[in-house]
A and B are shown apart, each in its own frame.
Chain A
Amino acid sequence: MKITFVKKILADGSACKKCGEVTAKMEEAGQLQHIDEIVIADERDPESAGIKLAAQYDVNRAPFFIVEEEGKETVVYTVYFKFVKQVLAGKTSEQEEIKEIMNDNPDLDFI
């Protein structure tokens, strides 16, 4: 299994806030050891590897995780807690997952 973690650098050169938060959580939980490659999506450079991966997998937010496994279809996770639960078999609370989904999808509560 190969896990790629895609983080973003904003157009003004600063790091994406959520990417920083997710990295800190992963460090604290010792999850970074499971990541095979960290790729940067630099908004200032359309040719950056992360921007190309975002286009390839039709992802419009960061961070995200690409999980490749031989003989299986590649899966992309845009919800950190879902990735933790389904790939790293970690424990997450329903509340944490829902909060992340709502933060990433500001229009969902209008459904």
Chain B
Amino acid sequence: MRSLLRIQTGARTDLGRVRKNNEDSYQIEPELRLFVLSDGMGGEAHGEVASNLAVQTIVTHCQQAENSRATPIFGDSQPDVSERTNRLASAIHLANRKVFEMAAANPEQKGMGATIVAAWMEGQKLSIAHVGDSRAYLLRAGTLDQLTADHSLVAEKVRIGILTPQEADASEMQSVLTRAVGTSATVQVDATELILLVGDTLLLCSDGLTRMVTDPEIASTLLTSTSAQEAADRLIELANEYGGLDNASVIVMRVTQKSDGVLDRLKVWKRNSG
């Protein structure tokens, strides 16, 4: 089914002010309505290799699945999410395997890996899957919510209640991930889904943004930008203004309008008239 929602996208990645290479990768597939962002790790140029391979693998797998239902599923399917969301998770499982195999075959790449956050639209439904500390946020009716739970040591400690969010922000352990793509033979993927509404803004970003810029600043930037691309540019500029200690990448997606049928227009009229 073709989606009824119209979307506007913007994206940017930046080296930052300290790092010498950009280990982040991202890709937007407008036809597929697929958005993938990854933050690589592993020294030298290996982080770039890992994030790039992960992103390409995910895009290819989703494209194949779109063309043929016979495309194999990797990893265990979760019963509590849709087939589409399981497919996105499958793509990340495959990316994990590819990065892990490449690292195993090349001793100098040992330990390379990547985070992933991916979003895939089907009609009004959005599937989100992630591994690591790259995040998805939803801005809806002026309120920003983080849709993903970081797989980092400090975030896990906050979740079990032994660290406050403030302590986490100041911790030296922020770079310690509890899950990543490509660092072991299998990986646990978190996947979820939600219904998009006209007016929603979705943000995918690497930690180079969220370690520099607070959630309220992200919210006000998204709210006051006139286009998705302007929002992406301003977020990266903010990260650099506040120090740019790491590579930062963002994908911004805005749901702008729906091609309405008569009944939908009546519903909108009814809603507006209270």
- A and B from one complex: no
